Structure 1
Amino acid sequence: MPQVMERLPGWPPQFPDLFSWVEAGLPGVPGIHNIRIEESVAEGAYTLRAELPGIAPDHEVELTVTEGVLAIRAERKTETADKHHTEFRYGTFARSVRLPAGAQGDETTAEYKDGVLTITVPLADPKTSSRTSTVRRT
């Protein structure tokens, strides 16, 4: 008589469960949540749109450009009112992206509207330089 295999509870995992760490935050870093972004390059500028609802951009968002990497850090503090249930994320939100070639990080601008932070970085034409070297016979 053939054996009947029982399905293990929770196996196979549902598709969204496979990527739950993306929603929850950065793996191995408790309390730091990921920021969802959209990137585009058009008309000589790199544009990044970051989803940051409920953030006060003037004092809760920090942008840093270091060695061609744009870092976004934001914090939403927990409200003190008693809640029966919440699915809001509180704590630190962080994301870093490598800027494209020719990005002029020192001219970065940002604006916040309707929960979306839009960061614009002008792009200079990448300088293509070539150098010819002679080979000496020894």
Structure 2
Amino acid sequence: MGALLPWRPFRELERMARRWESPFPRLFEDFEDNYDEAFTPAVESYVKNGNLVVRADVPGLELKDLDVSILGNVLCVKGERRSEQEVKKEDYLHREVSYGAFERRMTLPEGAAADKVKASFKNGVIEITVPLAKETVAKKVPIEAEAEKKVEISKK
């Protein structure tokens, strides 16, 4: 007697579909339309020692390809990853690397010292340090737990 299995009305259709699929893996089907997407670097920001630190991963870029500016209370990081050679779409086997200009903006908190911003670039990562006002730095807020109320039932 066979094992009990959950009822799946389309199980046989799933089996037939798997048989019809090519025996070769579909390595590149999900990447066909992604080759011309714009490059957008990953960014992280955190507070350390009273400074806002913003880091952006810009692999393959050089210092001359980057621009950091502040307008009002908005930090802007611009750059461009250029393709080294022009290759037709048909010549690619697989391409996940994207090229092009990018611009990332971040609103700085109140009290940020925009005139004392420092930026450094090392190993494909640009790091921007913005001094913060003392009152801008986060403070820990204690969490109070509410006790559950017990209902007493009086017997008469």
Superposition TM-score, scaled by structure 2 size: 0.56
1:88 aligns with 2:97: yes
Describe the SS at the equivalent of 1:80.
coil
Superposed counterparts of 1:3-18, under 5 Å: none
Residue from 31, 44, 48 that aligns with 2:50:
44
Give the alignment's Cα RMSD to 1 decimal.
Answer: 2.9
- State the identity %: 33
- Structure with larger Rg: 2
1:14-29 pair list within 5 angstroms: none
Separation of aligned partners in 2, 1:105 and 1:79: 35
1:61 to 56, 60, 66: 66
Determine helix, strand or coil for the equivalent of 1:106.
helix
Name 1:34's counterpart in structure 2.
40
- The residue type equivalent to 2:132 in the other structure is L
If each structure's helix is expressed as a fraction of its own residues, which one has the higher value? 2
Q: Which ranges in structure 1 are unaligned for 5 or more consecutive residues?
A: 6-23, 25-29, 128-138
Match of 1:27 in 2: none
Gaps of 5+ in 2: 1-8, 11-33, 137-156
Counterpart amino acid of residue 116 in structure 2: E
1:118 and 1:69 map into 2 onto residues whose CA distance is 16
Q: Considering fraction of residues, name the structure with more strand.
A: 1
Contact 1:63–1:71 (Cα < 8 Å) also in 2: yes
Partner secondary structure for residue 134 of structure 2: coil
Cα distance in 1 between the residues matched to 2:107 and 2:40? 16
- The number of equivalent residue pairs is 105
Q: Aligned runs of 1:67-86 on 2, under 5 Å?
A: 67-80=72-85, 82=87, 84=92, 85-86=94-95
